[in-house]
A and B are shown apart, each in its own frame.
Chain A
Amino acid sequence: MTTASHKVFDFHGGLHLDEHKSISTSKRIEQAPIPAMLVLPLSQHIGAAAKPCVAIGDSVLKGQLIAKADGRVSVPVHASSSGEVVAIEKRNVPHPSQLKSECIVIKTDGRDTPIDTEYTGLANYHSLSTDELRQRIHDAGIVGLGGAGFPSHLKLKPNGHHVDTLILNAAECEPYISCDDMLMREQAPAIISGLRIMQHALHAKNCMIGIEDNKVEAFAALQTAIGDSDDIEIVRVPTRYPAGGERQLIYSLTGKQAPSQGRPLEIGIVCHNVGTAAAVHNAVIKGEPLLSRVVTLTGSGIPQPRNMYVLLGTPIDDLLEHCRANRDDIGRTMIGGPMMGFVLDSTTAPVTKTTNCVLVTHQRDVQKPETALPCIRCGDCADVCPVNLLPQQLYWYAHSQEFDHIQDYNLFDCIECGCCDVVCPSRIPLVQYFRFAKTTIWQHERDTEKSNKARLRHELRLERLEREKIEKRERHNRKKAALKKEPEQKEDPKKAAILAAMKRVKEKQSVTNISPSNTENLNADQQRKIDEANARRTGQNKDKNGS
């Protein structure tokens, strides 16, 4: 193990913030009680929501699969304790939009009876192929526990790239949050074991752990867990927000910049969070799906800030009650840290796979929002931007809704870290403007796509009508030509025509007595068109439901 003299590259900007971490790290991580109700959202990850595979009234056991992954970018959901499914409906979930989302609600029986899982623990994971390994991680429902919630099995697939370095993100740079810190102090061996499994799955050449230099105890615990082996390098980075931003950490450790709008994998680097590593260890070595996570409960509204192992689906209300938070004193509840977290409207929302912190602020500490003054272009925002953007220019174009220009200034490279907001002397909620601009542009792109599709459909219809007209005319002409030819025949043409018609009718009647239907006797082309129309129709309905 080498630790001493690794060069740390300095990313642009960033802020030294008051940490407020020590208030929640004095005690060991405690086990939160099993709540009376578990509310398990089907979508706790980036990608398609899982599909329920239980019904209301079903009894479920701890660890039982209750919703299956839907498609490639999706993970399953498991019952985090035993009980009975009492509802599958839309409930409050922790999401910035504050919209309700489909959840499976389990009334727990308090017995916490585990299911015999499909997988048994496995000490020697090397016996598995990397595909089998990824399948296990997928089946355990593991997503990035650092906050983004991207399905981990996808980030453990090299996809044809050669993975040079696997980085474990142990920076945890946001103020107040200490769940990773505590997990490292107490579960360092599991984290290191998980890291080695990930390294194996990726065939990564090197492993690095990036940790902020304020986490002295966690650093020591990791060092002990690594022991004498020299395959993992642990690097202390200066404590400066947002040192734990994926791209910032990669740069700090390797001096490489992950391509803008691309993935770190393209430069041979994969980055995972320490919590994810521990979850991978549990899934592979112990055969346990992801049923709980460490959550920091902190802030001036919590009498004794702490970290807890919380069952996924536990309502935040239950945690507040457990911590004896006085409901009347609570001024604001946030999910995540004070920089990138979001305010939660309803504390009935549950803890999900990505809930790293519940930040409760006493009402006396809630700052009143200040009125924004005009931008004076002082450029302080540009000085602190870790991506080297010009927030003052982005703001100018977002404010005037010039969405073409704003993309010239690389709006979509903004990581929404909020540094610019903090230093702005005019108190402009800059990130808010940038989010607004991003969503407006996305909406515009979706609308354009929709109208393009509609136009194409319209054009194809006109084409078809035109073609039919031509065909009709041709048929007509052929008939005419046929009639013109007939006078040359010796027989009376009218008589012959009548005879022929009668003959045809007789023939038909002899074949079948069923009157013809216009959907029968279709040629292949017609059948294909009908199928396509049906597909479009169902597709549209899906769009409607989805939006």
Chain B
Amino acid sequence: MITNTPQVPSSASVSKLMLHVGYALVPGTLAYVWLFGIGVLVQILLACVTAVITEGLILALRKRPVAQTLADGSALLTAVLLALAISPIAPWWIIVLGTAFAIIFGKQLYGGIGYNPFNPAMLGYVMLLISFPLEMTNWPAAFSLLEQTPTLQTSLDVIFNSGLGIDTVSGATPLDAIKTQLAQGLDIPSTLISPDYGELFGALAGVGWEVVSIGFLLGGIYLLLTGRIAWQIPTAMLGTIAILASVFYLIDSSQYISPLLHLFGGASMLGAFFIATDPVSAATTPRGRIYYGIGIGVLTFVIRTWGGYPEGFAFAVLLMNMAAPTIDHYTRPTVFGQGKG
């Protein structure tokens, strides 16, 4: 075979890309650990170990280069994202099961990196949410809301000793609180000032959660500025959520969550910059990425507002993953010379 490829040095590489996405996760993750405890790091560690072992095993079974493929960092990134998406006080087997499922069924069975139609982390997340709703909806409260800061032992017990001492650390998430209260006929302004839930809400959204969201936003901006993620997806997604939330909030602020709570209260920031932008499962044409982002925004808003779950981002991503090939087909850019002169 004659090789006539460009002979200019290039520094682009997949592992470098993954590494920078990892760097960008640092501020949000640090804030998360600082405000919600060491459990976050334990989950990340469990996920990473599981991901490396599972991916290595499957690669060996598929007779593919193990070390080289693991070095691309994509399995680790999936693991970290899933660990950040589940509750830091979930029992250890939750994250192990979810990560293994994400790697095996979400990625390797489709042929490994580049061939998975769904975002593996979100596939793992949704599997867990549907199979283990109790464990998946037990969230910690921010340290500032607890009577006393849990010790390291308590944190580890919660994860490894069948939820020992879980009541001392758990609390409702802001989106969760509003959803349950609305179901019981209490409107949002009442929830915000209610003695039970009022303290959950901070300046932007939920106490603690808003800071974590800002951390992820900062990391996302870094990725945008360095051109490592497509700007269309997060912009379209967050813009759509902001617009829809504002419209409904203006119509009836007693029944609809404020746009700030939408943007900084749930998975919006982590999802918009780190999960929806996963290039493998997203739309790939410039225009298609806008539609893809809008789609995720709309679906997230719809599920949060009218669906059965307080957070709808994971479902929104998987649904739009399915639509990505069709979006790509209909949004092919006009090729040079075929448009108007």
Contact = CB atoms under 8 A, between A and B. Distances in A.
B283 to A, nearest CB: 9
Interface residues of A, number: 61
A497 to B, nearest CB: 77
A378 interface: yes
Interface in B1-43: 2-10, 12-14, 16-17
Interface in A397-443: 409-410, 413, 418, 421-427, 429, 431-432
Interface stretch (A76-84, A163-171, A387-395, A467-475): A387-395
Contacts of A386: 336
B226 interface: no
A505 B265 CA distance: 115
B56 interface: no
Contact of B8 (A257, A338, A369, A410): A338
Interface in A178-204: none
Interface string A3-43: 00000000110000110000000000000000000000000
Q: Which of B10, B13, B112, B230 has the most CB of A within 10 A?
A: B10
B113 interface: yes
A11 B5 contact: no
Interface string A79-111: 000000000000000001110000000000000
A421 B5 contact: yes
Interface stretch (B132-140, B168-176, B178-186, B327-335): B327-335
Contacts of B187: none
Contacts of B230: 379
A259 interface: yes
A467 B280 CA distance: 63
Given A376-B280, A378-B17, A425-B13, A96 B4 contact: yes
Contact of B284 (A96, A257, A387, A392): A392
A379 B68 contact: no
A160 B171 CA distance: 81
A354 to B, nearest CB: 15
A377 B114 contact: yes
Contact of A387 (B111, B113, B286, B336): B336
A377 B117 CA distance: 11
Contacts of A375: 114
B54 interface: no
B308 interface: no
A339 B14 contact: no
A374 B7 contact: no
Interface in A255-308: 255-262, 267
Contact of A425 (B9, B14, B338): B14
B149 to A, nearest CB: 42
B279 A379 contact: yes
Q: Which of B14, B68, B285 has the most CB of A within 10 A?
A: B14
Contacts of A342: 2, 4
A258 B72 CA distance: 41
A164 B230 CA distance: 41
Interface of B: 2-10, 12-14, 16-17, 68, 72, 74, 111-115, 230, 279-280, 282, 284-286, 289, 328, 332-341
Given A247-B337, A343-B4, A373-B14, 12 more contacts: A11-B336, A18-B8, A98-B2, A259-B338, A338-B8, A342-B4, A390-B333, A418-B6, A426-B114, A429-B5, A431-B5, A432-B5
Interface of A: 11-12, 17-18, 96-98, 175, 247, 251, 255-262, 267, 332, 334, 338-343, 361, 367, 369, 371, 373-380, 382, 386-390, 392-393, 409-410, 413, 418, 421-427, 429, 431-432
